[in-house]
A and B are shown apart, each in its own frame.
Chain A
């Protein structure tokens, strides 16, 4: 199972939006709605920010939103804040009780 493909980096200015893609195949992202996103700040433990494609856990700001089209899932961060500068990873159900992470995207807030 190959890692899902994410851009290495993305950036946006304070207050603007950034969208990160997560491209898989018809066996993972394309088939399953079990797609989640994680934020990992430097030196910290990853944090769940989106699950089930577009569900936000309690306490996660609504600036974070998720969507999916075909084999590609996306995470949008609106109203960028300095604290959003971090690495972001997607995770998808890959069938047969398997899962796979994305390659990770570093978001820079300009």
Chain B
């Protein structure tokens, strides 16, 4: 069965970096893109961008250009989200999701809570 297995919660201080992993299984990795979605505490869903699993090319939403990097290691079927120069307002749950077709996010990871606190 399809699974998107994410790494565990992280507690970081402002200015640090964090790398979240998302291991995909149960399907052909290159057949579907992987998207990233952010949800701050008590807030709505924000689309962060996606990574093309055939080419490894990332695409970022406007608000996520600069400190956010998507990457892919196909040998271990894992996508990564790295956030540098963390800010308090980056505190959120970060989801990786499989895109069945354009904008049809059918399988979601459990989410990784990143807490940024001094």
Tell me whether A93 and B44 are in contact (CB under 8 A): no
Binary interface encoding of chain A residues 66-101 relative to chain B, with 1 for a CB under 8 A from any of its CBs, else 0 = 000000000000000000000101011100011111
Q: Which residues of B are in contact with A by a Cβ distance under 8 Å?
A: 35, 37, 44-47, 50, 59, 61-62, 95, 100-106, 108-111
A12 lies within 8 A of chain B by Cβ: no
A52: Cβ under 8 A from any B Cβ: yes
Q: Is A30 an interface residue (CB 8 A)?
A: no
**Total contacts A-B at CB 8 Å:** 70
Interface size in chain A (residues, C-beta < 8 A): 28
Most buried by B among A35, A97, A100: A97
> Is B44 a contact of A1 with CB atoms below 8 Å?
no
Give Cα A102 to B37, complex, Å.
Answer: 13
B69 to chain A, nearest CB (A): 17
Subset of 10 A-B contacts with CB under 8 Å: A32-B103, A35-B103, A45-B111, A46-B105, A48-B105, A51-B104, A87-B44, A89-B44, A99-B50, A101-B44
Q: In chain A between 4 and 53, which residues have their CB closer than 8 angstroms to a CB of chain B?
A: 32, 34-36, 38, 40, 45-48, 51-52
B100 touches A101 (CB 8 A): no
Distance between A94 CB and nearest chain B CB, rounded to angstroms = 9
Q: Say whether A34 contacts B106, CB under 8 Å.
A: no
